[in-house]
Structure 1
Amino acid sequence: MQASTVEQIAEVQRKYKELQQQLRADAAAREAAAAAAREVEVVAMAAEQSRKYDELQLQLQHMMKMFQQSQKLPS
């Protein structure tokens, strides 16, 4: 009977260690997914900022052309 109890305790300890390892792996996977999501968000924000910058550059070029044309008009 003592041998059976010792075996049961050993089995519980083994399962406990397996569960701990699984929990650590799950936590690492969640952290990796969160980091990837943050990276995607940063890339999206950078793309949006780049798009806005390009739009402002085009507006500035248009305004410069308009200014140059207004300077060429005969007085």
Structure 2
Amino acid sequence: MPSGSQAQAEVQRLKDQIAQMQASIVEQIAEVQIKYEELHEQLRADAAAREAAVAVKEAAAAVREVEAAAMAAEQSRKYDELQLQL
């Protein structure tokens, strides 16, 4: 049977071990929080990049529509000129 001082030493050893485990857990939680924030920021950046890509595609489509309308107007003007010459 352990003596009182041995029991106290064992209790202190276990308390120290618990304190070390708690410190380790706190450190791990901090690391997880940092990683979470990094991933969250990356998700926001990815979403912004997707939105920008959609905006670029929409702008390109609008430019093509304007170009097509301009080409149609030019062809119509040329047709009208030819009609007048006849």
Structure 1 segments, 4+ long, off by >4 Å, are none
Please tell me whether residue 38 in structure 1 is matched to residue 58 in structure 2.
Answer: yes
1:12 Cα deviation from its structure 2 partner: 0.6
1:9 correspondence with 2:37: no
**Aligned pair 1:60/2:80, yes or no?**
yes
Aligned residues: percent identity?
45
Unaligned runs of 5+ residues in structure 2 are 1-20
Unaligned runs of 5+ in 1: 67-75
Alpha-carbon RMSD across the aligned residues, in angstroms, is 0.6
Q: Deviations over 1:48-72 (max 9, x none)?
A: 1100000000111111111xxxxxx
Indicate the residue corresponding to 1:69 in structure 2. Answer: none
Whose radius of gyration is greater, 1 or 2?
A: 2
TM-score computed with the length of structure 1 as normaliser: 0.85
TM-score (norm 2): 0.75
Inter-partner Cα distance in structure 1 for 2:49 and 2:38: 16
